[in-house]
Amino acid sequence: MLSVEEYLERVLAMARPLPAEPCPIGEGDGRVLAEDLLARFPVPPFSNSAMDGYAVRAADTSGGEVRLQVVGDIPAGVFSAPEVGLGQAARIMTGAPMPPGADAVVPVEETDQPQGVAPLPDAVVVAEVRPGRHVRRAGEDVATGDIAVRAGQRWTPATAAAAASIGYTQVPLMRKPRVAVLSTGSELVAPGANLGFGQIPDSNSLLIAGLVEQFGGEVLLQRAVPDDPEAFRGALSEAREADLIVTSGGVSVGAFEVVRQVVEGEIEFVKVSMQPGKPQACGRIVGPSGAEQALLALPGNPVSVFVSAWVFLRPLLAAFHGLDAPWPGNQLPAGEGWQTPPGRRQYLPVVVRGGFVFPAHSLGSGSHAIGSLHLAEALAVIPEAADVIRPGDLVMVRPLG
Residues in contact with Mg ion by the rule CB under 5 A: 185, 249, 300
Which residues inside 252-271 make contact with ligand AMP, applying CB under 6 A?
A: 252, 254
277 binds ligand AMP, rule: CB under 6 A: no
Residue 187 CB, nearest distance to ligand AMP (Å)? 5
> CA dihedral in degrees (386, 391, 392, 393; nearest 10)?
0
Buried b (16+ CB within 10 A) or exposed e, 353-384: eeebbbbbbeebbbbebbeebeebebbbbbeb
> Measured from the CB atom, is 167 or 366 closer to ligand AMP?
366
Cα(208)–Cα(316) distance, rounded to whole angstroms?
14
SS3 of 160, please? helix
Name the one range near ligand AMP by CB under 6 A: 195-203, 265-273, 371-379, 391-399. Answer: 195-203
List the single partner that 299 binds among Mg ion, ligand AMP, none, CB under 5 to 8 Å by kind: ligand AMP
SS3 of 399, please? strand
The letter for the amino acid at 142 is V
Which residues inside 196-225 make contact with ligand AMP, applying CB under 6 A?
A: 200, 202-205
Name the one range near ligand AMP by CB under 6 A: 236-244, 247-255, 285-293, 320-328. Answer: 247-255
53 binds ligand AMP, rule: CB under 6 A: no
> Measured from the CB atom, is 66 or 369 closer to ligand AMP?
369
Residue 20 CB, nearest distance to ligand AMP (Å)? 34
**3-class secondary structure per residue, 104-146:** EEEEHHHECCCCCCCCCCCEEEECCCCCCCCEECCCCCECCCC
> Measured from the CB atom, is 296 or 317 closer to Mg ion?
296
> Measured from the CB atom, is 97 or 249 closer to ligand AMP?
249
Buried b (16+ CB within 10 A) or exposed e, 148-166: bbeeeebbeeebbebbebb
Buried b (16+ CB within 10 A) or exposed e, 29-39: eebbbbeebeb
Residue 234 CB, nearest distance to ligand AMP (Å)? 17
Cα(397)–Cα(381) distance, rounded to whole angstroms?
6
Residue 207 CB, nearest distance to ligand AMP (Å)? 8
> Measured from the CB atom, is 118 or 200 closer to ligand AMP?
200
* Residue 243 Cα distances to 32, 285, 361, angstroms: 16, 11, 36
> Measured from the CB atom, is 185 or 283 closer to ligand AMP?
185
185 binds ligand AMP, rule: CB under 6 A: yes
Q: What residue ranges bind ligand AMP (CB under 6 A)?
A: 183, 185, 187-188, 200, 202-205, 248-250, 252, 254, 299-302, 368
